Amino acid sequence: MNHTMKEIPESQRPYEKCIREGENTLSDSELLAVILRCGTRGMNSLTLANDILSHMEQSPYPGLLGLLHCSVSDLKKIHGIGTVKAVQLKCIGELSKRIASTAARISLDFNSPDSIAAYYMEQLRHQEQEIMVCMMLDNQNHLLGDTVLSKGTVNATLITPREVYLEALRYHAVNLILIHNHPGGNPAPSKCDKEITERICQAGEMLGINLLDHIIIGDHRYISFREEGLMGAYPE
């Protein structure tokens, strides 16, 4: 596999195969090879792509998923990967998340926890720390904006009703939806999750701003406080 790409039969070259048979026929390593375009000294792009995936198999996140969890410095430890290629690989991961979010936004319905979870799933399920996001809506449930309230462990000492509603007032929001992730993959709410939600609900009642739902994202799973009956009915 140390042949140059020109020395490989045309039928086995990823770029030509993509043109001839379509991108869906390419393996993971072939897709990476096309995106990387060139290899390094003594190593063509296909060999380099195979080495990258082999390196990922030794990590907690095997395969292409590993690209989302590696930093630029981690990637540069792989032979043949310098800063430019490391940045390319990180951008592949970010692009994939944005494509998934853009596709999910088309069917985004703020009365449907399933569609909200789908919108944030790729953004949050790969995170290695807890992130709390607040979606702010007007009285017609149109999205005014969202903001990250906290990074790190979500607990009552870090997330307070005050900071939640300061953001809500800044956007002139009438309704709110909280979303946060559980890095372990299990979205079941903790005691702390329930306490935070209750406190924010109570504070919102006094301000006339409704907390519609709190959605916890796991690995391809989610829990909605509203669906689980852990919150009251939607306000009229």
* The domain made up of 5-100 is a member of CATH 1.10.150: yes
Q: What backbone phi and psi angles, to 5 degrees, belong to 173? A: -80, 150
pLDDT in tens, 94-139: 888 888 778 777 778 888 999 999 999 988 988 888 999 999 999 8
CATH of domain 109-224: 3.40.140.10
- Give the pLDDT band of residue 141 (cuts 50, 70, 90): confident
User: What pLDDT shows up at residue 200?
Assistant: 93
Measured CA to CA, the distance from residue 49 to residue 118 in angstroms comes to 30
Lowest mean pLDDT among 37-46, 155-164, 204-213: 155-164
Measured CA to CA, the distance from residue 182 to residue 154 in angstroms comes to 9
Pair of tokens at residue 36: 């990387």
Nearest Cα to Cα of residue 130 among 102, 158, 105, 110: 158
- Residue in the block written with tokens 């290629």: 85
pLDDT at 60 over 80: no
59 CB-contact burial (10 Å; exposed 0-12 / middle 13-18 / buried 19+): middle
- More confident of the two residues 1 and 80: 80
pLDDT in tens, 211-230: 999 999 999 899 999 999 98
Please state, for a pLDDT cut of 70, what percent of the chain lies above it.
93
Report whether 216 contacts 222 (CB < 8 A). Answer: yes
User: Residue range 200-219: average pLDDT?
Assistant: 93
- Give the pLDDT band of residue 156 (cuts 50, 70, 90): very low
pLDDT at 5 over 50: yes
- Give the pLDDT band of residue 56 (cuts 50, 70, 90): confident
pLDDT at 27 over 70: yes
pLDDT at 21 over 60: yes
- Give the pLDDT band of residue 58 (cuts 50, 70, 90): confident
Range among 38-42, 61-65, 73-77, 155-159 rated most confident: 73-77
Domain ranges of the chain: 5-100, 109-224
User: What pLDDT shows up at residue 216?
Assistant: 96
